[in-house]
Amino acid sequence: MGVIPVTLPNPKFEFTQARQRQLSTSVSLDSTTCRARIAAYNPSINAFVRTSPPPPPPPPHPSPLAHETLPLQLATRPVAVKDSICTRGMGAGCASEMLRDFDPPYDATVVTLLRAAGADIIGKTNCDEFGMGSMNIHSIHGPVINPFGSPAHRSSMARSTFPSAPSSSAPPLPPPPSPEARSAGGSSGGSAAAVAAGMCFAALGTDTGGSTRLPAAYCGVVGLKPSYGLLSRWGVVSFADSLDCVGVMAGCVEDTELVFDVLNVYDEKDPTAALPETREAARRACERRMEEMGWSEGRLDGLRIGIPQEYFPAEMTDAVLQPLRRTIAGLQAKGAVVVPVSMPATAYALSAYYVLASAEASSCLARFDGVEYGLHVRPPPGTDLATTSTAELYALSRSAGFGREVKKRILLGTYALSADAFDNYFLQAQRVRQLVKDDFDRVFGIPDYRQCTTGETGSEGVDVLVHPSAIQTAPRLDGEGGGGLETYVQDVLTVPASLAGLPALSVPVAGEGWPVGVSVVGQWGCESVVFAVGRAAERI
Amino acid sequence: MLRRLCQCRARQLQPFRRFHDARVYKEDPRWLGWQVVIGIETHAQIKSRRKLFSESLTSVPGETPNTHVSMFDAAFPGTLPKLNHKCVDLALRAAVALQSDIQTRSSFDRKHYFYSDLPSGYQITQQYAPIAIGGRLSVALPNSPPFEVRIKQIQLEQDTAKSTLNPRTRTSHIDLNRAGTGLMEIVSEPDLRSPDEAGAYVRALQAVLRAVGASDGNMEQGSLRCDVNVSINRVGQPPGTRCEIKNLNSVRFMIAAITHEITRQRAILESAPDPQNATVPQETRGFDEHRFETYKLRSKEDAPDYRYMPDPNLGVLVLSQERIRTVRDTLPELPWETRERLRSAYGLSERDVDVLLNIDSGRDVSFDGETQGPNASVIAYFDQLCAEEGDEGKRRRDPKAVSNWITHELLGQLAARKETFKDNHLSVDQLGELIDMVQNKTITGTSGKLLLRHMLANPSKTPTMQIATELQLTALEPCPDSTSSDTPVHSPALRALCADAIAALPAESDAARKGNRNVLNKIVGRVMKDSHGRADAKAVRALLEELLLPR
């Protein structure tokens, strides 16, 4: 806290200032510092489930050609990767008993790209089992503790004062969370906490219905769920194929964008990857629109921001609303025009999401039967194998391998796909999904280039939507507000963008106490516009 | 896609049509008063080099287990499917051949069940929007007019792995070599009316798939399998309840299974207390290959719910009109087209056509529909041997002679060597030259056969004429223009042989000089023997007559 005037103990100010410092000092998040911080703080935060050995030190005398080549975008940057993304030799346990010992013999495409850009894959982060959950409490590694306000977090703001690394390696089990401990959010809670605690430069999460944006909001970091189809899903363990996205988290929008740019590459191994021409069409449309607005330094003149009226449910707390109002006012002050918009299908989005995500989960997780890999539970001695079906044998491994939440969703999804329920659940949810997409297409000025190739940019539409990332700040882990339907209601603000496959960026904004995130949502492929608005919002 | 899905669901829920009177009832003495209704689902492995959604090579039974497996085939987490368009093109060939309506937009669905032959827990198939809908195949039984079988749809799907139970160790062995190989499921309408018709349909389908290179259709190797739906009803009554017999892997078994099924269903219906209202319980049945009987696998109540779901990874398969046109324009000749062409363009007899087509029915089908050299197909070999000469526009060789050389001499000698046409290494040019040499009497027919035998035993690229010369098989009686003159000019070599024979048989020669024509045969025989078949007997006789007989 050294440079902050001591006359301002206001937690709001402290947070804002601290974050600003992080923006400017993130370069010091090098491999050595981050490993020391993980060793010191991970036992109390439980963000990492595995760390990699430090990379070999750079040669003392750089090769004569070194100065001729451009430095890699992420050279020596430590990047954490969610444990549901495959990393060769570092496991991909998905916080599940089923895959506890699974070590994939391949890197996910996004990990390959990170390595190629020079990143140091520092470790694998805790999460909800297979990405299912929004509090990061459904994990065989125990919950992730929100580091906000903890010694780890404070020292990430003032880097000189963290203790030196303990000599022993991290204990296998974290200490039980204190009663006041707050959730880091889920499912990519470990990734968000790792960034917030200064344990890495950036982290990869996944986002199926908000799993990157929600923990980013709770932990006070930036979290991006990119447009569906931009970042390769090859090597990312599927939860729901049509919704899963790789998410990027970092301390500020600029760093998030840097990592996103490294990963935003067409991968022919991913059949859902957007084709290069589609990406290019969307990119050019955004370029034209931004040129048309012709922003000068720090201004947003001409930008049309939509405020979706359905994104303010009764459960939303004041702690979230006030910072949002300030942010919107700040954006208006920079020249943006605020337009109220209506997204009538939003009310049904959450139900549709849970039907579709569960249905796909029941399908995607069918492969975990303990035969080719993963947990295998042998039938008890004396079992008559002649009268035991294969499915019954699989049930032994699956019952032991999956946790409660995963089982619940598999059962729900299995039901939604059964012959009697298919029309009323799965098909109905697909219809709602289309309505949600239609809502977005109606309000945005730029068309969705996945469907049209020659779309005209409308003058009436908005450029982005802005709304709170969550209905409240990080909830307590001791059960208060957790476990029941409320945990699903958290997702109400994040699932529409997932259903529509749109880019959504959660940016931490000035709040009273616990962090608050504001979401900026854009048309498909319009990451550049979303980042521009995000950069403006984080400076308010 | 959503709209298509809804439409498809609506179609599925429609009540059954009265399909069984699509064809005129024909009495069958085996089951008088009963009408048999049969529909067949055929699973044909696509003859592609690689699997439907992965890079691994396809395999044949007998290869080392689990050697053709990618991470995707083993359903490793994070792996994703990538559609092999070679498979799509081969399925399109089948669709064109069956006059099926190719869908410019089709999609893939997941069929879920837990079994050890299915690593991902679901099979990717085309339940809701198949690649081709409708179609027909003309089928003929011997000695009766052809009939038409309607095709309901053609869908692409993955083959499963193979699990085998070792009863001694009581362990299951799983071989993923086959897992993910491309299959075409070809569903017929219930247009078949007897076991024999069903057999003829499968054979006709097999021939079409092989001709277009879509599948090798080998039932013994398991690359063509059938599920057969059988129901029976009293003539004039609505169709009965069908039973499905799964996984029949030979035409013989299929005919036996259907025959047994008819008997079984008839027994149920005839022994019921109220025969008019009795129904057969709907079942899925297997076929016992030792007892030649069907047996119950599961009843309707136990039918699994496959929880079909559109595959979220594969999206819509969009086919351009141009691509469909290319497949149509480059479609290999269909069996009935080949038959017609051989008959009309070459004037071959029905018997010769049958022989040639039969040989080709056992040929290898190449991967990915690639074109093969002429030696891969006897028809192509025949075509090239008869090839027309460009400039003169006139056929180079007599089709009848070529057909005789192929069917009698070449195949006969191959058979003697315990070989088939597949083993023939004689190029079109080599055999063509041989036939020409015999036709223009450069060598005798006997020498030609001898030469053929020699060439089959000693593979080489040497031109036939050169081999014939080296072996001294060229005829002693070159005949160019010999017919134009009344007194043929005999070669010095033949003259020498005859002189030798006359010298060797002085008594016979004397007798001949005195006018004994009968003794001449002995001298001719001697010359023939000495010439090792190179001499033409007629020419020898003529020469000997000239030399010996009193004028």
3-class DSSP state for residue B109?
strand
Amino acid at B402: V
User: Measured between alpha carbons, how far is A158 from A77 in angstroms, rounded to an integer?
Assistant: 19
Whether residue B180 lies within 8 A of chain A, CB to CB, comes out as: no
In 3D space, the residue among A144, A147, A149, A146 whose CA is nearest the CA of residue A12 turns out to be A149
Amino acid at B371: T
Residue A427: count of CB within 10 angstroms of its CB: 18
pLDDT score for A27: 44
Q: DSSP readout, B306-336? A: ---EE-TTT-EEE--HHHHHHHHHTPPPPHH
Give B388-397 contacts, CB < 8 A, sequence gap 24+.
B396/B432, B397/B432, B397/B435, B397/B436, B397/B439
Taking only Cα atoms into account, the Rg of chain A, rounded to an integer number of angstroms, comes to: 23
Using an 8 Å CB-CB cutoff, list chain B residues near A233: 78, 80
Residues B63 and B188 grouped into a single domain? yes
Residue B248: count of CB within 10 angstroms of its CB: 27
Residues B131 and B161 grouped into a single domain? yes
CATH architecture of the domain formed by A11-56+72-263: Alpha-Beta Complex (3.90)
Residues B224 and B345 grouped into a single domain? no
**Sign of CA pseudo-dihedral A475, A481, A485, A489:** negative
Among B417, B441, B470, the domain boundary falls at: B470
Tens of pLDDT, residue by residue over B384-406, are 898 865 545 556 788 999 999 99
In 3D space, the residue among A425, A421, A405 whose CA is nearest the CA of residue A365 turns out to be A405
Residues 6+ apart with CB under 8 A from B86: B48, B49, B50, B368, B369
Two structure tokens written together for B397: 């060789």
Using an 8 Å CB-CB cutoff, list chain A residues near B75: 367, 372
Q: How close, in Å, is residue A269 to chain B by CA atoms?
A: 7
Report the chain B residue with the minimal C-alpha distance to residue A418.
Answer: B307
Using an 8 Å CB-CB cutoff, list chain B residues near A124: none
Residue B476 lies in a domain: no
- Judged by CB atoms closer than 8 Å, whether chains meet at A237 and B112 is answered as no
Q: How far is CA A322 from CA A13, A302, A317, B496, in A?
A: 15, 25, 9, 124
Cβ neighbourhood burial of A319 (10 Å; 0-12, 13-18, 19+): middle
3-class DSSP state for residue A396?
helix
**Active site residues per annotation of A:** 82, 187, 211
Residues 6+ apart with CB under 8 A from B308: A417, A422, B109, B110, B111, B112, B127, B128
Q: DSSP readout, B200-212? A: HHHHHHHHHHHHT
Q: For residue B349, say if its preceding peptide bond is cis, omega within 30 degrees of 0.
A: no
- Cα A28 to the chain's mean position, in Å? 23
Which among B76, B120, B309 is the nearest to A359, CB-wise? B309
User: Measured between alpha carbons, how far is B507 from B505 in angstroms, rounded to an integer?
Assistant: 6
Residues B284 and B346 grouped into a single domain? no
Residues B491 and B544 grouped into a single domain? yes
Q: How far is CA A158 from CA A1, A24, A218, A329, in A?
A: 6, 12, 21, 30
Q: State the count of interchain CB pairs (< 8 A) between A and B.
A: 113
Cβ neighbourhood burial of B466 (10 Å; 0-12, 13-18, 19+): exposed
Low-confidence ranges of chain B (pLDDT < 70): 1-4, 6, 8-22, 388-395, 475-489, 551
Residues B252 and B384 grouped into a single domain? no
Report the chain A residue with the minimal C-alpha distance to residue B314.
Answer: A271
A403 in Cβ contact with A358 (< 8 Å): no
A182 in Cβ contact with A238 (< 8 Å): no
User: Measured between alpha carbons, how far is B341 from B364 in angstroms, rounded to an integer?
Assistant: 22
Residues B281 and B411 grouped into a single domain? no
User: Measured between alpha carbons, how far is B257 from B123 in angstroms, rounded to an integer?
Assistant: 27
- Cα A142 to the chain's mean position, in Å? 19
Using an 8 Å CB-CB cutoff, list chain A residues near B114: 366, 369, 390-391, 394
pLDDT score for B470: 84
pLDDT score for B476: 65
- Cα A240 to the chain's mean position, in Å? 15
- Judged by CB atoms closer than 8 Å, whether chains meet at A240 and B110 is answered as no
Using an 8 Å CB-CB cutoff, list chain A residues near B80: 233-234, 269-272
Residue A224, H or E segment: strand A222-225
Two structure tokens written together for B309: 């779901």
User: Measured between alpha carbons, how far is A221 from A146 in angstroms, rounded to an integer?
Assistant: 11
- Judged by CB atoms closer than 8 Å, whether chains meet at B78 and A359 is answered as no
Residues 6+ apart with CB under 8 A from B12: none
Report the chain A residue with the minimal C-alpha distance to residue B84.
Answer: A271
Residue B324 lies in a domain: no
Which among B77, B81, B82 is the nearest to A367, CB-wise? B77
**Number of domains forming the structure of chain B:** 3
Residue B481 lies in a domain: no
The reply to whether A11-56+72-263 and A276-345+431-538 are identical in fold is yes
Q: How far is CA B544 from CA A229, B441, B443, B503, in A?
A: 93, 20, 20, 12
3-class DSSP state for residue A464?
strand
Strand pairing category for A504-509 and A222-225 = antiparallel
- Judged by CB atoms closer than 8 Å, whether chains meet at A422 and B82 is answered as no
Determine the longest span between alpha carbons in chain A, in angstroms. Answer: 78
In 3D space, the residue among A484, A535, A528, A491 whose CA is nearest the CA of residue A509 turns out to be A535
Residues 6+ apart with CB under 8 A from B168: none
Using an 8 Å CB-CB cutoff, list chain B residues near A390: 114-116
Stretch 56-75 of chain B: residues touching chain A, C-beta under 8 Å = 71, 74-75
pLDDT score for A147: 95
Residue B523 lies in a domain: yes
Residue B277 lies in a domain: yes
Residue B415: count of CB within 10 angstroms of its CB: 11
Q: DSSP readout, B220-286? A: TTTSEEEEEEEEEEETTSPP---EEEEEE-SHHHHHHHHHHHHHHHHHHHHHSSSTTT--PPPEEEE
A207 forms beta bridges with A245
- Judged by CB atoms closer than 8 Å, whether chains meet at B119 and A427 is answered as no
Residues B302 and B417 grouped into a single domain? no
User: Measured between alpha carbons, how far is B86 from B88 in angstroms, rounded to an integer?
Assistant: 5
Report the chain B residue with the minimal C-alpha distance to residue A91.
Answer: B77
Among B318, B342, B372, the domain boundary falls at: B318
User: Measured between alpha carbons, how far is B484 from A539 in angstroms, rounded to an integer?
Assistant: 110
User: Measured between alpha carbons, how far is A401 from A176 in angstroms, rounded to an integer?
Assistant: 23
- Judged by CB atoms closer than 8 Å, whether chains meet at A268 and B79 is answered as no
ipTM for the complex shown: 0.91
User: Measured between alpha carbons, how far is B157 from B159 in angstroms, rounded to an integer?
Assistant: 7
Sequence spans of domains, chain A: 11-56+72-263, 276-345+431-538, 351-424
User: Measured between alpha carbons, how far is B161 from B121 in angstroms, rounded to an integer?
Assistant: 12
Using an 8 Å CB-CB cutoff, list chain B residues near A385: 170
Residues B77 and B48 grouped into a single domain? yes
CATH code for the structural domain at A276-345+431-538: 3.90.1300.10
A243 in Cβ contact with A187 (< 8 Å): no
Two structure tokens written together for A64: 């004569």
Residues B85 and B184 grouped into a single domain? yes
Q: How close, in Å, is residue B346 to chain A by CA atoms?
A: 50
Residue B326 lies in a domain: no
Residues 6+ apart with CB under 8 A from B134: B99, B100, B101, B150, B151, B152, B153
Cα-based torsion angle of the residue sequence A310, A312, A314, A315 in order, rounded to the nearest 10 degrees: 130
A319 in Cβ contact with A473 (< 8 Å): yes
Give A11-15 contacts, CB < 8 A, sequence gap 24+.
A11/A512, A11/A513, A12/A510, A12/A511, A12/A512, A12/A513, A15/A220, A15/A510, A15/A511, A15/A513, A15/A515
Q: How far is CA A277 from CA A273, A292, A509, B83, in A?
A: 11, 22, 35, 20
Which among B5, B121, B307 is the nearest to A367, CB-wise? B121
User: Measured between alpha carbons, how far is B120 from A220 in angstroms, rounded to an integer?
Assistant: 38
Per the structure, the complete domain to which residue B143 belongs is given by: 2-318
Residues B14 and B153 grouped into a single domain? yes
Strand pairing category for B147-158 and B182-188 = antiparallel
In 3D space, the residue among B391, B409, B388 whose CA is nearest the CA of residue B399 turns out to be B388
Residues 6+ apart with CB under 8 A from B471: B450, B451, B454
Residues 6+ apart with CB under 8 A from A22: A156, A157, A198, A251, A252
> Could you list the pLDDT tens digit for every one of the 540 residues in chain A?
333 333 333 333 344 444 444 544 444 789 999 999 999 999 999 999 999 999 887 666 655 555 556 678 999 899 999 999 999 999 999 999 999 999 999 999 999 999 999 999 999 999 999 999 999 999 999 999 999 988 888 777 643 333 343 334 444 455 666 768 999 998 999 999 999 999 999 999 999 999 999 999 999 999 999 999 999 999 999 999 999 999 999 999 999 999 999 999 999 999 999 999 999 999 999 999 999 998 888 899 999 999 999 999 888 999 999 999 999 999 999 999 999 999 999 989 999 999 999 999 999 999 999 999 999 999 999 888 888 899 999 999 999 999 999 999 999 999 999 999 999 999 999 999 999 999 999 999 999 999 876 666 666 899 999 999 999 999 999 865 544 566 667 788 999 999 999 999 999 998 778 999 999 999 999 999 999 999 999 998
In 3D space, the residue among B313, B135, B369 whose CA is nearest the CA of residue A363 turns out to be B313
Phi, psi of A7 (to 5 degrees): -80, 0
- Judged by CB atoms closer than 8 Å, whether chains meet at B114 and A390 is answered as yes
User: Measured between alpha carbons, how far is A129 from A189 in angstroms, rounded to an integer?
Assistant: 11
